[in-house]
Amino acid sequence: MSDLKARIQGIRDAFNQALDQVEGLKALEELRNQYLGRKRGIVKDLLADLRTVSKELRPELGQAVNRLKNTVENALTEKLEALKSGESTGDLQRKMDLTLPGVAPELGSLHPLKVVNRDLIRIFERMGYEVASASEIETDFYNFEALGLTKNHPARDMQDTFYVTDEVVLRTHTSNVQIHLMQESKPPFKAIMPGRVYRKDADITHSPMFHQVEGLVVGEQITFADLKGTLEHFLKQLFGSDTKMRLRPSYFPFTEPSAEVDVSCIMCGGKGCRVCKNSGWLEILGAGMVDPVVFKNVGYDPEVVSGFAFGLGVERVAMLKYGISDIRMFFEDDLRFLSQFT
Ligand code: DAH
């Protein structure tokens, strides 16, 4: 009887050892037959031998044999699963060479205008400017009238403006944001205003839709020297610390005095080349002191506040920075062009 108990333990140990050695499905099947075979399995034989045991001991030993049977069954099933999953990875490895180099996904890149726009904004943000915006569809008042471009003003070039109705236009510049900003806030403030603008104009340096960045600083005792210092710092940040700046007298209806701002040619450093038409200078910005008329139009007292404003074209800066000669390249979505800016 305890003879049988010892046998059960011995069988358990032998099975466990044998199972450890099994490496393939075929060997596992053989092991199963050896232990659980219907006709002549080891467990089957044990059950047969139970009959020779006394009635009192039979239930206990019967349970022990059943436990063994379950253990063997479970262990065999577990091993079968393990072998199967091992086998499938084995198959995979045979079908594909995991040591081959992978295919890198193609990376997109920022549009060159986006890059320049972002750089411009960053430079001013570092100087404490806030970013402001307004609608691209604008009333005559904000786009023209309030900026000193009265109805019959010669600077209103009818040819250039897209009219939606008599009183509504696609804004021709970002200067409209100046008016909204001044109406909505109290000085002092410094703001940068990037955005799309529209003009009826199309050739290799003009596009009917393009981008501008406007700047406006208003406070007490803001002077022309502030304007000059700010723009010089900005241009050195944008084009490099060797960049020189030059102001030429100019005219804008919303600034007085007004200036055209040039930088030393970024191609030849000022020596003279094709890009700067041998002048050594490139025109880059319009700027000036906010005209008292504009302050009056937004309800500010020009005796108390003063300020400066400027505006520049993003496409022009990008064309100069990257040496692009045709503005249309920006809008054609040609990957051969765009992928050069990764
Ligand atoms: N609005 C002008 C343009 O579109 C650019 C400009 C010039 C903006 C002088 C200004 C400025 O704020 O002071 O050509």
Of the listed ranges 29-43, 209-223, 304-318, the least confidently predicted one is 29-43
Q: Find out whether the beta carbon of 61 lies less than 6 Å from any atom of ligand 1.
A: no
173 lines ligand 1 (CB under 6 A): yes
The whole-number average pLDDT for the span 101-115 is 91
The whole-number pLDDT of residue 93 equals 61
Total residues found in the chain within this entry: 342
For 206, other C-beta atoms within 10 Å of its C-beta total 15
Distance 133 CA to ligand 1 centre (A): 15
Closest ligand 1 atom, CA of 212? Answer: 4
Whether 86 shows a pLDDT value over 80: the answer reads: no
Kindly state if the Cβ of 175 falls inside 6 Å of ligand 1: yes
Q: Kindly tell me if the per-residue pLDDT of 158 is higher than 70.
A: no
Distance CA 258, CA 308 (A): 10
How many angstroms does the Cα of residue 153 sit away from the middle of ligand 1?
16
Q: Which of 196, 208, 200 is nearest to 114 (CA)?
A: 196
Across the range 282-294, mean pLDDT stands at 97
At residue 87 the predicted structure's pLDDT band, cuts being 50, 70 and 90, is: low
Model confidence pLDDT, tens digit, residues 238-250: 999 999 999 999 9
Q: Per residue in 252-271, pLDDT tens?
A: 999 999 999 999 999 999 99
Mean pLDDT of 130-155: 95
95 vs 338, which has greater pLDDT?
338
Question: With 60 as the cut, is the pLDDT of residue 11 above it?
Answer: yes
Residue 192 near residue 132, CB atoms below 8 Å: yes
**Distance in Å, CA 25 to ligand 1 centroid:** 82
The mean per-residue pLDDT over the stretch 118-135 comes to 98
Least confident stretch, 42-56, 186-200, 305-319: 42-56
- 215 CA distance to ligand 1 centroid (A)? 9
Structure-model confidence comparison of residues 21 and 291, the more confident one: 291
Instruction: Grade residue 1 by pLDDT with cuts at 50, 70 and 90.
Output: very low
Q: Which atom of ligand 1 is nearest to the CA of 197?
A: 4
Q: 318: number of CA atoms within 13 Å, CB side? A: 26
Q: pLDDT category, 47, cuts 50, 70, 90?
A: confident
CB 22 within 8 A of CB 86: no
pLDDT confidence of residue 329: 96
Q: How far is the CA of 250 from the centre of ligand 1 (A)?
A: 11
Q: Whose CA is nearest to atom 8 of ligand 1?
A: 311
Q: Is 252 in the pocket of ligand 1 (CB under 6 A)?
A: yes
> What is the average pLDDT across 94-103?
81
Atom 6, ligand 1: residue with shortest CA distance = 311
Residue whose CA is closest, atom 5 of ligand 1? 311
Residue type, 331: F
In 3D space, the residue among 186, 242, 214 whose CA is nearest the CA of residue 308 turns out to be 214
The DSSP line for 173-189 is STHHHHHHHHHH--SSE
Ligand 1 pocket, mutate which of 173, 177, 178, 295 (most atoms under 8 A from CB): 173
Q: How many helices (H) and strands (E) does the chain have?
A: 11, 9
Q: Which of 190, 310, 312 to mutate to test the pocket of ligand 1 (most atoms within 8 A of CB)?
A: 310
Q: 325 vs 158, which has greater pLDDT? A: 325
pLDDT at 167: 96
Mean pLDDT of the chain: 92
**End-to-end CA separation in angstroms for the chain:** 83
